[in-house]
Structure 1
Amino acid sequence: MHVLGTVLVLAWPWLVHAADAPALVREGNGRGAPACQSCHGADGGGQPAAGFPRLAGLAAGYLEKQLTDYAAGTREHPVMQPIARALGATERTAVATYYSRLPVPPPPSGPVPADDGVGATLATRGRWSQRVPACEQCHGPGGIGVGANFPPLAGQPAAYLEAQLQAWQQGRRRNDPLQLMQHLSRALSAQDVSAVAHWFAAQRPQGNTP
């Protein structure tokens, strides 16, 4: 039985991921990583009021990279860094794969910022006088996300998006391709950050929505 189990692990590692991920999300690993759903919700939809982001439907490669970067310190957060360090590499892969396969829950309903406001302008057209391209050029139309390096912004909590832009500005997050976000974020004022965060938070995410 021991030999058979070893063969299964080597030949089909996804079986281990499928078995471990739900337990990690519900219960943690008992070695310093608490249940993921305590902050990110049972459906992976996050907690907008608290600024905890949606994980459901995000690319597995992106999620795994963020956990790895938290563990390495290139993305700083007082809660997530110790959690990421308490997860093994296989556990990080398992959790990332699990969340990537969850249906994307719709965002809470609320007012939609004006199409001619600062947030919409930065998101869709940019501000070329300060060499700031439109956010959509990397993150896709409406912020739906593009691949593993440019995650969805649509429907993420405004408080979370604001916090990330501030982290880029202050150098607490340093894991972007070619340092794009570090440079671009520093051209934004506090009012710009708030406006573009609220615009994206009001957009409907795409994906395997229920």
Structure 2
Amino acid sequence: MESLKRMKALSLPKEYPENIDLIRLINYRTFLGCILNDVRCAIMSLMAKGYTSALDIATALGFSRTAIYRHLHSLRKNGLVIYRNGRFYIAARFFLVYDVELDSEESIKLKIYADKGGFADEDVGFVLVKGESCRCDVCSIAESCLKAVKNLARKLEIKVRSEIPLEAFTEIAREVTYRDIVSIIKSGYLIVKSPFDEEGHEEKE
């Protein structure tokens, strides 16, 4: 399936396990809880660069392991991070943000926020796209971010017109939603997980 082949082109550090999800849809409120916390954003970026142990992350950020474990627990509980064999990994190659509502006919509507999401980049680390919180006009890493977004577009075979990182990512998210996600859902199935599905895993190294 072409949709899956394109997603598999998104790279992760070589140390990552092979069974990392291609796409994850993250709840809107959960996503806000991550992007509004600078430490969690920094942790995600480090993990995209290959920092997968709590000790390495704590050392890089200058925090205690206890403090880092608290953040890792929250990220894991909310589907952004997974825990495998004593190490922590970003849970997917590509994240989009969603919300749901029930209409008057009791049908569930899935809303994708095209201006929010995230993806791993080999140079930048983890790129978090924060929607209205992004200030591309004054951001010190806007140039690097745009390069990462264009690299993402190339891997996904999507043409972007905007030279503004947020707008370019929005173009990608919309295309991925209509071209890939809808196709995958129509021909496959959905797995619904609660925030507590991984609670049984031990977090000690």
TM range (shorter): under 0.3
Determine which structure has the larger strand proportion and give its number. 2
Determine which structure has the larger helix proportion and give its number. 1
User: Bigger radius of gyration, 1 or 2?
Assistant: 1
